[in-house]
Amino acid sequence: MLLALIGACRPREAAKGTALAQGPRVVSLVPAITEMLFAVGAGPQVVGVSSFDKTPAEVATRPRVGALLDPDLERILSLKPDLVVTYGSQEALHEQLARANIATFTYRHGGIGDTLETLEAIGARTGHADAGREATQVLRAQLTAVRMRVDGRPRPKVLLVFGRDPGSLRNVWASGGTGFLHELLDVAGADNVFADVDRENVQATSELLLARAPEVIVELQAETHAEESPSPWLTLAGVPAVKSGRIITLQGDQFVVPGPRLAGAAEALARALHPDAWSTSPGR
């Protein structure tokens, strides 16, 4: 699930004959966009959501229509949407919706700038342009405040892990040098050990982790997991982060859903890496 979530956001042209100006009925297959829809005041227009939507709480009252790999076209059409939010890779679904004369707004994961751009764009697309601009400005200001809080402090070399096999260091997936996770590390005052890798994801072997020598290991967990005892990271005793015990676990899907909660994720990450920054005034 996490790997699917870590995957540039561009709206598709509206199909002719839709009623977007009057406030479209929206089905969203993308949790990040669902959160944006509610953030800009379009929540009442959302008539269907994906199988993985959890936030905000109101999504529990909406019909589920599948997700990235299993969109339920029949269910989607039964909800009579004017606009369907899809992933860029769902080409077959795009064609089916186009034949039904239903507009789509297509999403691809990108950086923080793409999240900000999409937040404003989805507000305009659903008849909430002012709210979209305001929400975008607020999110940008919050991210800037986090960056300023840790500015000038030593930047640790961080391995940011978003997936691995439970109880072992097999199939370790970490942030590469592009995408919103990499940029969150920068905002939080850290350097990504894989900053030079021009990909969003890196499958990191133990040998590679030893070579990169992270000073801090941060693991992101979308859901709460039982504590592992002993920690599998202890098998890499030569890694500086393991030697110093700087292994941090952060739980919550706000870290892997690039939507309106990104600033909260950035602050939580910054607090974990620079706890002393919150004991003084910003900029000191």
pLDDT at position 14: 37
Low-confidence residues of the chain, pLDDT below 50? 1-21, 283-284
Strand pairing class (247-251; 216-221): parallel
**C-alpha angle with apex 248: 244 to 252, nearest 5 degrees?**
180
- pLDDT of 2: 40
What pLDDT does 7 receive? 38
Cα distances (Å, whole numbers) of residue 247 to 175, 232, 254: 16, 11, 19
**Alpha carbon distance 34, 78 (integer Å):** 19
For residue 43, what is the DSSP state?
G
Helix (H) or strand (E) holding 263: helix 262-273
Q: Structure pTM?
A: 0.88
Q: Taking the CB of residue 69, how many other CB atoms lie within 10 A of it?
A: 10
* Per-residue pLDDT at 19: 40
Q: Where are the domains of the chain?
A: 2-127, 153-278
**CATH superfamily, with its number, for domain 2-127:** Nitrogenase molybdenum iron protein domain (3.40.50.1980)
Contact criterion met (CB below 8 Å) for 83 and 25: yes
pLDDT at 23: 82
Domain 2-127 shares a fold with domain 153-278: yes
- pLDDT tens track for 234-255: 999 999 999 999 999 999 999 9
Q: Which CATH number, 1.10.760.10, 3.40.50.1980, 2.40.10.120, 3.30.43.10, labels domain 153-278? A: 3.40.50.1980
Triad 1, 167, 266: Cα angle to 5°: 50
pLDDT of residue 175: 97
pLDDT at position 121:
97
SS3 54: coil
pLDDT value at residue 108: 85
Q: What is the pLDDT of residue 139?
A: 97
pLDDT at 3: 40
Q: Give the C-alpha separation, 69 to 85, whole Å.
A: 14
